[in-house]
Amino acid sequence: MKLLGPPRQLCKACLRHLNEALESEWAYVCLGITFVCVALMVLFGWIIYRDPCFQWEIRTQLCDDYHNGLIAGAFCYDLCVERVSFLSSCVDQQGNLSVFRWNKFVIKAERPNHKKEGEKDELIWEGMKMQDLAVILDDFLRAVLGVADHSKLIERVIQHADFNHDSVVSFGEIRSLWHLLHIPEFRMLFIFNESSVFPTLNGSCGTMYAVEETYQPYLYRENKSFVEKVFSTRHRWGLPDFPQRAHISLGLLEYAYTVREHENVKYYMCTFSPDHFGHTEYFEMKVSTVDGLVSEAVLNASLMQRNCDSDTQCVYGDVCKTSCDRVTRKCSGIPENYIPDVVRVCTVLQEYVLFNVPVKLKSVLSKLVADCVRLGKKSRFMDPDMMAVEENVLLDRLKQVLWDELKYADTKWLEKSTPKPQPVNLI
């Protein structure tokens, strides 16, 4: 059907005006503005709806596994039935671990990885007996901690696996704790969970676990900025008063004593920094990261598997160094010239506690800390047993001096201090 004259003319007129409009400068301006608006809307929508910590993916997988009986834990019912928002506040993404903040806890959860989960599940099965579980745990702990008597640790693991205390450990409970033990941070916190200087584990669900939040996550930070160059003591600004710093320092000394050897296993602090230690609001020292803390077995295995051409390639963390064997082109085990952990702690104390010290205490405390730091040079020539004796003596003397000072100080800030909270349930 042919168009009548007037409609045809009208169409031609519209097309002509449209072409003229598109050829004008204002048309390009309008198109540019439209493009920018659309791009901003897309960006705004992405910012609002993005999931940087994979919250939806983690929650969905955990709840599917919980309803299918594959995992268990004290938090599972609240997470999957009551729909408590444990994962609503994303903090960080640390490798395969997503970090959230909820209430006064830090929540950490592994992003689902079915391939790795399948490899772990090959060693456990439904209906396994406690004796079988104990054997598997012993083999695992020997691999990650070294050959030693791990019976007490295994007993603790099995005890906490029964999170509902019905004297029966289900497959979901076994599987949850087995997967959690493969997370290095959880494993280390579990091992030292009875120590007051480590943050408490406070429940879990599958591979999601809650850790006591550190009020102040670091002691001090030395930034290499222009301000730091002008004001060399800038990192001391805002630090607590001496009594509070003395109380925190006691926790540091306790940490050095605790990790040197624990339950027949020797540990090394291969990454050490004041950033790794913080304190509660009541000035109780808490370890804020365990990344650099490794057992001797893990350290040896990691170093001796490395190929090398020079000694610089035989370094674990910041401070654990060995030599390169030019024949085998492999790194040797057991760190050489390793500075004792007590010395590293005392190096931090030099910057943290040895200023604004009461006059009557300054001389004796400065001397003790200096003697402690000098142990680093002595350690190369001393017998290990004699070295351990000297470390113990210095630790005891430092503790005694600090405690004696706190006895007569105003310690009202300690009145609200509470005992270390008991773990709710670890799975």
**CATH of residue 263:** 1.10.510
Tell me the H-state helices in 316-416: 341-352, 359-378, 384-407
Q: Give me the DSSP letters along 194-235.
A: TSTTSPPEEEEETTEEEEEPPSB--S-----SHHHHHSTTGG
Mean pLDDT of 260-276: 88
* Domain termination residue (choose one: 183, 212, 241): 212
Average pLDDT score over the chain: 83
**The tokens of 294 are what?**
């490794």
Express each pLDDT in 154-209 by its tens digit: 999 988 887 767 767 889 999 999 999 999 999 999 999 989 999 999 999 999 99
Q: Is residue 16 part of a domain?
A: no
Q: Is residue 43 part of a domain?
A: no
pLDDT at 75: 92
Mean pLDDT of 279-289: 92
Would you mind telling me the total number of residues written for the chain in this entry?
427
Q: Give me the DSSP letters along 222-290.
A: ---SHHHHHSTTGGGTTPPPHHHHHHHHHHHHHHHHHHHEETTEEEEE-S--GGGEEE-TT--EEE---
Q: Give me the DSSP letters along 58-115.
A: HHHHHHHHHHTTS---TTHHHHHTS---TTSSEEEEETTEEEEEETTEEEEEEPP-HH
CB 425 within 8 A of CB 163: yes
H/E stretch holding 324? strand 324-325
Mean pLDDT of 271-280: 90
Q: Is residue 99 part of a domain?
A: yes
CB 402 within 8 A of CB 249: yes
* Domain identity same for 177 and 207: yes
* Domain identity same for 201 and 255: no
Decide: residue 258, CB within 10 A, 0-12 exposed, 13-18 middle, 19+ buried.
middle
* Domain identity same for 346 and 253: yes
Give the structural domain span for 407: 226-414
* Domain identity same for 192 and 126: yes
* Domain termination residue (choose one: 153, 184, 212): 212
* Domain identity same for 245 and 356: yes
How many other C-beta atoms are found inside a 10 Å radius of the C-beta of residue 382? 14
**The tokens of 47 are what?**
């910012």
CB 232 within 8 A of CB 275: no
* Domain identity same for 175 and 285: no
8-state DSSP, 317:
T
304-321 per-residue burial string, b: 16 or more CB within 10 A, e: under 16: beeebeeeeebbbbebbb
- Give residue 167's region: left, alpha or beta (phi > 0; psi -120 to 50): left
CB 324 within 8 A of CB 331: yes
**Per-residue confidence band for 1, with pLDDT thresholds at 50, 70 and 90:** very low
**The tokens of 404 are what?**
């004696």
As a whole number of angstroms, the longest Cα–Cα distance in the chain is: 112
Question: How many domains, the chain?
Answer: 2
Residues 6+ apart with CB under 8 A from 189: 198, 199, 201, 211, 290
Mean pLDDT of 232-236: 69
* Domain identity same for 232 and 196: no
Q: Is residue 63 part of a domain?
A: yes
Q: Is residue 285 part of a domain?
A: yes
Task: Name beta bridge partners: 266.
Answer: 261
* Domain termination residue (choose one: 212, 238, 272): 212
7 pLDDT above the threshold of 70: no
* Domain identity same for 68 and 101: yes
401 pLDDT above the threshold of 90: yes
Positive or negative CA dihedral for 396, 283, 225, 94?
positive
Share of the chain above pLDDT 70, in %: 81
Express each pLDDT in 20-61 by its tens digit: 555 555 556 666 777 677 767 766 655 555 567 889 999 999
* Domain identity same for 60 and 153: yes
Q: Is residue 305 part of a domain?
A: yes
Q: Could you give the CA distance from residue 270 to residue 265 in angstroms, rounded to a whole number?
A: 16
For residues 339 and 268, which has the higher predicted lDDT (pLDDT)? 268
Q: Could you give the CA distance from residue 35 to residue 39 in angstroms, rounded to a whole number?
A: 6
- CA-wise closest residue to 319 among 241, 396, 376: 376
Decide: residue 398, CB within 10 A, 0-12 exposed, 13-18 middle, 19+ buried.
buried
Q: Could you give the CA distance from residue 397 to residue 65 in angstroms, rounded to a whole number?
A: 53
pLDDT at 237: 79
* Domain identity same for 384 and 288: yes
Express each pLDDT in 209-230 by its tens digit: 999 998 888 898 776 665 555 5
Task: Name beta bridge partners: 106.
Answer: 101, 211
Q: Is residue 165 part of a domain?
A: yes
* Domain identity same for 279 and 150: no
- CA-wise closest residue to 409 among 254, 242, 282: 242
* Domain identity same for 249 and 199: no
Q: Is residue 10 part of a domain?
A: no
